[in-house]
């Protein structure tokens, strides 16, 4: 049966994208230089031919640079694409219109990539049989009173995870592995772990086919998702029924369920580049609408894409129209999807203006910071790009937190046993005041991490001295060469029990240091289970057991998981570890001790200038009534050292953490902590200890 043709009338330029109401659907799309525009309507996501093609008229269906039409009676669930004609002058104008190429709507709220061929989109001409499709999405949803959470940043503990990899392994035993729905089934695990936020690797729709040719030849795909093309749409690969356009509902179900468990949602977003790559890349949307606006192009030959991201192109984020697109997109995810925050991949690329010049006050970054809709939203910058711009400690704005790469590197060096780092290490675990205090920023400006998706897992950090990325198909050229790792004596797997015990102790040291540091700790999913990637430090293309969480490890490494849960709970029990202001070394009001006192093996004699030192110790005063004071020491030398402990009149020290001991004696519940009956303590090599005085707290 032939589908009916729908009548049309003049549409509205706002809002962009497709918007349904009781009478039909309004379509609006931006293209300044298009001369001919067609809207194609499809019965399903897999139909090869449209059931209706609507030609827009410049005289009646264009307002300024927006093309728009209202389709009367068109139902929700209708699929669509666009076709546009205009100048095809990439060298002179940076424009590459192709009247046969089907384009997806940059503002579509749901897309299907089931028939997608990246290769076909890279060639000139008709790609209708292999193009992506957009759908007129059903926006109705019962939030049941849900709103974005307002968890104070000093209380945040971030858990970085990959939606697909978290449940895709059969050991997850979820109903729909690798999906938003599958992740919902694991919320009890996340809640029991004690984290406050999940930070989801990219969940905006991305191109899984965007990998190098050699990688693709091995049957590998873009797994991490740093290849976005549709910034308003959840990724269809994480949906159970994307062919029905259920993207919005499935993502909202996840957010609502996480919020009910008290867990916030931070999205990893990629506004520095898109999946359209450079001049040889595919035409998906922005290139076919007006690439000279959306991308940084060479001034003299606009066929050349300036690449500050290492991904073939760089989004021209500070162009007024692009900045508005980015800010509107973020506001959509907060207002309509209830997201609690964003982590911006290669955020420093967004600080660049014309010609790649680094702007002192980038309009897009200030626009994000000052948006009323985003006022309570967490903003986290990866404060560097792939062309040498490194802005850790100097990222534009005040609300922004930063992935603290200096914290990561210093902690790794200290854990490896490097000498003479005591002063630098003390600064990092105290919130990196050297980076943030002079700007009027706070310890919460520092997102502290030792591992993340990009690089070795925690277990591999102490199992490999070199990367082992041969499985990626790039002859081990990809991935970082400077891992600041230490294999503990053997490269990779071993049966040596002493080495295995040392690796586990070092992993526990990492979690202890993270939870004892001022700032916002971030954990990589799977590290609490000692997940390995077999030395691969760049698993961007490995959608397989190499990266999937192995849930059998919950039992296999139960002692490690127990330690992580308990050290997280320990942090949450001590406001002194979650300070909103920097430590001063001055006497606290109402107390007779400073907020922090630094030591070496002897009291008040830290090894600031000792080039051989690998030990740091300090006393941290409780900041609330009845909060215990803490004595903390970290010995990364190969020697057992005798520590002098501070006396505490009328109280005594109790042992809370000692990573040199075997489970379950490496960490204790408050009521079970053994008393330390001397004012000395022998700390073993490669060990973190924490003592707690006997103030009564629950």
CB 212 within 8 Å of CB 474: yes
Tokens of 163: 């939606």
Longest Cα–Cα distance in the chain: 90
pLDDT at 1 over 50: no
Give me the CATH number covering residue 93: 2.60.40.10
Q: How far apart, in whole angstroms, are the C-alpha atoms of residue 165 and residue 549?
A: 6
Q: Are 251 and 183 in contact (CB under 8 A)?
A: no
Helix axes 405-416, 422-429, angle to 10 degrees: 130
Q: Both tokens of residue 162?
A: 């990959």
- Give the span between the Cα atoms of 599 and 601, in whole angstroms: 7
Query: The domain spanning residue 646 has which CATH number?
Result: 2.60.40.1180
For residues 659-683, average pLDDT: 96
Residue 295 is given by DSSP the state B
Annotation says 345 is catalytic: yes
Cα first-last separation, the chain: 71
Which pair of structure tokens corresponds to residue 696? 């009564």
**What secondary structure does DSSP assign to 472-511, as a single string?**
GSSTT-SS-S------TTSSS----HHHHHHHHHHHHHHH
Both structure tokens of 36: 């001919």
Confidence band for 645, pLDDT divided at 50, 70 and 90: very high
Per-residue pLDDT tens for 360-382? 999 999 999 999 999 999 999 99
- 326 by DSSP, 3-state: which? helix
Which residues face 693 on adjacent strands?
653
Q: Cα(604)–Cα(602) distance, rounded to whole angstroms?
A: 6
Each residue's pLDDT tens digit, 320-360? 999 999 999 999 999 999 999 999 999 999 999 999 999 99
Q: Does any domain span residue 658? A: yes
Report pLDDT for 187. 98
Note whether residue 220 is domain-resident.
no
CA distances from 511 to 495, 522, 596, 648 (A): 24, 10, 21, 28
Domain endpoint, select from 114, 135, 156: 135
C-alpha 389/C-alpha 386 separation (Å) is 7
In DSSP notation, 96-156 reads: E--TT-EE--TT-S-EE-TT--HHHHHSSS--GGG--EEE--------TT-------GGG-
Domain with 593 in it = 583-693
Q: Which helix (H) or strand (E) holds 591?
A: none
> Counting beta carbons within 10 angstroms of the beta carbon of residue 546, is it exposed (0 to 12), middle (13 to 18) or buried (19 or more)?
middle
Q: Is residue 87 part of a domain?
A: yes
Establish if 336 belongs to a structural domain: no
Catalytic: which of 160, 382, 629, 666? 382
pLDDT reading at 653 higher than 80? yes
Q: Is the pLDDT of residue 589 over 90?
A: no
DSSP state of 353: -
Residue/partner pairs of 9-15 with CB below 8 Å, 24 or more apart: 9/69, 9/70, 9/72, 10/60, 10/61, 10/68, 10/69, 10/70, 11/61, 11/68, 11/69, 11/70, 12/68, 12/70, 13/63, 13/64, 13/66, 13/68, 15/107
Which has the higher per-residue pLDDT, 696 or 57? 57
- In 3D space, the residue among 426, 425, 491 whose CA is nearest the CA of residue 461 turns out to be 491
pLDDT digits (tens, 9 = 90+) for 61-102: 999 999 999 999 999 999 999 999 999 999 999 999 999 999
Pairing of strands 158-161, 197-200: parallel
- 696 pLDDT above the threshold of 80: no
Two structure tokens written together for 587: 């006497």
Q: Is residue 359 part of a domain?
A: no
Q: State the Cα torsion 240-243-248-253 to the nearest 10°.
A: -20
Both structure tokens of 1: 């049966």
Whether the CB-CB separation of 334 and 295 falls below 8 Å is answered with no
Q: Is the pLDDT of residue 648 over 70?
A: yes
Q: What is the mean pLDDT of residues 586-615?
A: 94
- DSSP-derived letter for residue 173 is -
Q: Is 382 a catalytic residue?
A: yes
| Residue 217, both tokens | 């030849």
Assess whether pLDDT exceeds 70 at residue 695: no
What rounded mean pLDDT belongs to the chain? 96
DSSP 8-state assignment for residue 427: H
For residues 657 and 689, the answer to whether their CB atoms sit within 8 Å is yes
Q: Cα separations (Å) of 270 from 120, 317, 319, 500, 641?
A: 24, 11, 17, 38, 47
Mutual angle of helices 497-516 and 558-572, in 10-degree steps: 20
Position 57 in a domain: yes
Tens digits of residue pLDDT in 497-555: 999 999 999 999 999 999 999 999 999 999 999 999 999 999 999 999 999 999 999 99
Q: Are 619 and 659 in contact (CB under 8 A)?
A: no
Structure tokens at 185: 């089934």
Tokens 């706002």 belong to residue: 14
pLDDT of residue 497: 98
What backbone torsions phi and psi does residue 631 show, to the nearest 5 degrees? -115, 125
∠ CA 267-294-478, rounded to 5°: 60
Domain boundary among 104, 135, 166: 135
| Structure confidence at residue 694 (pLDDT) | 73
| 44 part of a folded domain | yes
Count of the separate structural domains present in the chain: 2
Name 681's bridge partners.
643
Residues 469-491 have pLDDT tens digits of 999 999 999 999 999 999 999 99
pTM score, whole prediction: 0.97
The domain boundary residue, chosen from 102, 135, 168: 135
Percent of the chain with pLDDT over 90: 96
Which member of 307, 340, 345, 666 is catalytic?
345
Residue 370 in domain: no
pLDDT of residue 590: 78
**Is 697 a residue whose pLDDT tops 50?**
no
């Amino acid at each position: 049966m032939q589908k009916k043709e729908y009548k049309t009338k003049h549409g509205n330029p706002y809002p962009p994208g497709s918007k349904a109401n009781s009478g039909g659907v309004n379509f609006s799309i931006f293209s300044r230089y298009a001369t001919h525009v067609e809207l194609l309507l499809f019965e399903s996501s897999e139909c090869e031919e449209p059931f209706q093609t609507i030609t827009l008229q410049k005289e009646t269906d264009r307002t300024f640079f927006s093309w728009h039409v209202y389709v009367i009676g068109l139902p929700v669930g209708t699929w669509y694409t666009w076709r546009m004609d205009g100048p095809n002058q990439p060298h002179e104008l940076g424009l590459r219109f192709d009247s046969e190429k089907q384009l997806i709507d940059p503002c579509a709220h749901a897309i299907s990539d089931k028939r997608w061929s990246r290769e076909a989109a890279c060639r000139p001409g008709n790609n209708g049989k292999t193009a992506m499709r957009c759908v007129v999405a059903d926006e109705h949803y019962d939030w049941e009173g849900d709103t974005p959470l307002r968890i104070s940043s000093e209380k945040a503990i971030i858990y970085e995870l990959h939606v697909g990899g978290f449940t895709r392994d059969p050991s997850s035993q979820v109903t729909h592995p690798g999906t938003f729905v599958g992740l919902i089934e694991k919320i009890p695990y996340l809640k029991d772990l004690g984290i406050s936020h999940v930070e989801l690797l990219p969940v905006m729709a991305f191109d899984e086919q965007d990998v190098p040719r050699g990688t693709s030849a091995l049957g590998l795909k873009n797994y991490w998702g740093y290849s976005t093309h549709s910034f308003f749409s959840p990724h269809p690969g994480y949906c159970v029924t994307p062919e029905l356009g259920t993207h919005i509902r499935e993502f909202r179900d996840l957010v609502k369920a996480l919020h009910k468990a008290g867990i916030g949602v931070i999205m990893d977003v990629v506004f520095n580049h898109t999946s359209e790559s450079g001049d040889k890349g595919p035409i998906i949307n922005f290139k076919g609408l007006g690439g000279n606006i959306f991308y940084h192009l060479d001034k003299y030959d606009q066929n050349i894409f300036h690449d500050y991201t290492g991904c073939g192109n760089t989004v021209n984020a500070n162009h007024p129209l692009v900045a508005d697109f980015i800010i509107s997109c973020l506001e959509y995810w907060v207002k309509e999807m209830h997201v609690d925050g964003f982590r911006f991949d290669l955020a420093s690329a967004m600080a660049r203006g014309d010609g790649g010049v680094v702007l002192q006050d980038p309009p897009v970054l200030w626009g994000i910071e000052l948006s009323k809709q985003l006022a309570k939203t967490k903003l986290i910058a990866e404060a560097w790009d792939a062309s040498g711009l490194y802005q850790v400690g100097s990222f534009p704005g005040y609300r922004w937190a930063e992935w603290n790469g200096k914290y990561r590197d210093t902690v790794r060096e200290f854990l490896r046993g490097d000498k003479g780092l005591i002063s630098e290490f003390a600064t990092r675990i105290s919130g990196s005041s050297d980076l943030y205090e002079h700007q009027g920023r706070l310890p919460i400006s520092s997102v502290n991490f030792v591992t993340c998706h990009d690089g070795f897992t925690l277990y591999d950090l102490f199992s490999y001295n070199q990367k082992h990325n041969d499985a990626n198909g790039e002859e081990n050229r990809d991935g970082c060469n400077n891992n600041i790792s230490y294999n503990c004596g053997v490269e990779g797997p071993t049966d040596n029990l002493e080495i295995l015990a040392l690796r586990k102790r070092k992993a526990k040291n990492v979690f202890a240091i993270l939870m004892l540091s001022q700032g916002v700790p971030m954990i990589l999913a799977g590290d609490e289970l000692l997940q390995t990637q077999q030395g691969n430090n760049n698993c961007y293309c490995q959608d397989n057991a190499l990266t999937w969480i192995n849930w059998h490890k919950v039992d296999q490494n139960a002692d490690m998981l127990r330690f992580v849960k308990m050290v997280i709970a320990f942090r949450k029990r001590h406001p002194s570890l979650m300070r909103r202001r920097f430590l001063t070394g001055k006497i606290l009001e109402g107390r007779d001790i400073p907020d922090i006192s630094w030591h070496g093996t002897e009291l008040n004699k830290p090894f600031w200038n000792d080039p051989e030192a690998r030990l740091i110790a300090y006393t941290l005063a409780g900041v609330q009534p009845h909060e215990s004071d803490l004595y903390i020491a970290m010995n990364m030398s190969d020697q057992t050292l005798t520590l002098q402990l501070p006396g505490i009149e009328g109280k005594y020290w109790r042992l809370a953490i000692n990573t040199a001991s075997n489970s379950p004696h490496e960490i204790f519940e408050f009521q079970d902590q053994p008393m330390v009956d001397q004012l000395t303590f022998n700390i073993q090599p490669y060990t973190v200890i924490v003592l707690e005085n006997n103030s009564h707290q629950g």
